[in-house]
Amino acid sequence: MSDSVKKYYELLEEGRITSISNGTGFTFIYESPDGGKTVTERPFGGDISDRVVISKPILSEGDKRDAYTILSVYSEESILEAARILGSR
């Protein structure tokens, strides 16, 4: 089984996607250009430029260390507000 198919089933199990159809009759293709770290979605038969990233790469050890530093320095309220701001971009 290819990495992209495995990732598709992982995303289904995690509840991040619910099916390969969005209710419009389109079937989607899930691809991973980097071996499963990043997953993209595009309509079957659609143009490659229609791809949307649905799963981002796993954080590096340095990024994880930075995240733990942020958690130890700032209040939960500040961190949640920063996450809200980032999510609205």
Instruction: Please indicate, yes or no, whether residues 48 and 71 belong to a single structural domain of this protein.
Output: no
Instruction: Please indicate, yes or no, whether residues 77 and 34 belong to a single structural domain of this protein.
Output: no
Instruction: Please indicate, yes or no, whether residues 46 and 65 belong to a single structural domain of this protein.
Output: no
Query: pLDDT value at position 10?
Result: 78
Q: Between the CA of residue 32 and those of 27, 39, 55, 69, 76, what are the distances in Å? A: 17, 5, 9, 31, 34
pLDDT tens for 13-28 read: 776 665 555 555 567 7
Query: pLDDT value at position 60?
Result: 79
Give me the phi and psi of 85, to 5 degrees please.
-60, -45
Query: pLDDT value at position 3?
Result: 75
**Cβ atoms < 10 Å from Cβ of 83:** 10
Query: pLDDT value at position 51?
Result: 82
pLDDT tens for 42-78 read: 877 777 788 888 877 667 788 888 988 999 999 999 9
Instruction: Please indicate, yes or no, whether residues 21 and 42 belong to a single structural domain of this protein.
Output: yes
Query: pLDDT value at position 74?
Result: 93
Instruction: Please indicate, yes or no, whether residues 67 and 40 belong to a single structural domain of this protein.
Output: no
Instruction: Please indicate, yes or no, whether residues 26 and 45 belong to a single structural domain of this protein.
Output: yes
Instruction: Please indicate, yes or no, whether residues 50 and 22 belong to a single structural domain of this protein.
Output: yes
Instruction: Please indicate, yes or no, whether residues 38 and 18 belong to a single structural domain of this protein.
Output: yes
Q: Say if residues 65 and 79 touch (Cβ distance below 8 Å).
A: no
- Report the number of distinct structural domains present in the chain: 2
What's the average model confidence in pLDDT over 2-10? 75
Domain that holds residue 44: 1-58
Instruction: Please indicate, yes or no, whether residues 63 and 51 belong to a single structural domain of this protein.
Output: no
Q: Between the CA of residue 79 and those of 6, 7, 57, 72, what are the distances in Å? A: 33, 29, 21, 10
Phi-psi region of 45 (alpha: psi -120 to 50; beta: other; left: phi over 0): left
